[in-house]
Amino acid sequence: APVPSNNPVLDTITFPPHASSIPSHPNGTWRTSTRHALQHPRETASSVGEACTLDVAALRSRLEDIADTASEDLTARLNRAFEGRDLIEMHHRVVGCVPAARMPETRHVSRVVDAVSDAAQDLAVRERVSSAYLGTELQGDKWAFARIMSLSARRALVRCGICWEWQVAHSRQNLGWQGELYSSLADVFTREKMYKGVAHLFEMKPVWTADRAGKVWRLELDTGLMEVSVDGERDGLREMPVCVQTGFEFLEEWGCISI
């Protein structure tokens, strides 16, 4: 009897090079698949065309379904999150947390601008005075002293009730007496710098003293020192503040009260 071979040769009738049964992939390696594609171009083109065809209607329908599902899911989540809550009351609370802004009045804006401007100028002048002497014979310090003290003196007029704010503001009407005040303070610095010292001059405070006979307010600079004298009538000591006379006089008619 014939002995069967260990490696029988398969015929193409029983096992064709390409199988049409499931799965539809060609038998063999990539070489067999490539050979099949080249030998059957019509079938290959048809498969590629089906794979590359885009069903726009189906895609649009699918996207709409996804959007509807997402919208319904979001609505359901919101309903669960706000379940048992008063949405109207929550809205009122949110609105109440928003601050109600009101436009500032022109008068308030003017005051703020003046305060910021004065503070910036004082800071610049004080820093310049404390850092170095400017010019020959302390000319820079002299004008800085005049500017700072004139500003303090004008504020003292308002603080003491002698003038209203608009009566000491920079204007054409007030230009005359403000120039005299500035010049008088500059002369005080020149006269007293050798005796009182520059640093001590900048620490002085303006004081307005009424002169009823002359109908004027006289400006003095309080040095912060006290002069002690013997009071013979009371057999005791009497203390008097030491002030520097500036020679400037503020007329009664320039203010808002009578002396």
Asked if pLDDT for residue 151 goes beyond 80, the answer is yes
Asked if pLDDT for residue 223 goes beyond 60, the answer is yes
Q: Which of 180-184, 230-234, 236-240 has the lowest mean pLDDT?
A: 230-234
List beta partners, residue 210.
217
* Torsion on CA atoms 238, 244, 247, 252, rounded to nearest 10: -60
Tokens of 142: 């002299």
151: CB partners within 8 A, 6+ apart:
118, 122
CB 200 within 8 A of CB 149: no
Label residue 210 exposed, middle or buried (CB < 10 Å: 0-12, 13-18, 19+).
middle
128: CB partners within 8 A, 6+ apart:
134, 140, 144
Task: Report the percent of the chain where pLDDT is more than 90.
Answer: 30
Listed ranges 15-24, 76-85, 101-110; the one with the highest mean pLDDT: 76-85
Asked if pLDDT for residue 68 goes beyond 80, the answer is no
Residue the block writes with tokens 């303090």: 152
Q: Which helix (H) or strand (E) holds 231?
A: strand 216-231
Asked if pLDDT for residue 102 goes beyond 90, the answer is no
Asked if pLDDT for residue 19 goes beyond 60, the answer is no
CB atoms within 10 A of CB 19: 13
**Model confidence, pTM:** 0.46
Residue 107: band (very low, low, confident or very high) from pLDDT cuts 50, 70, 90:
low
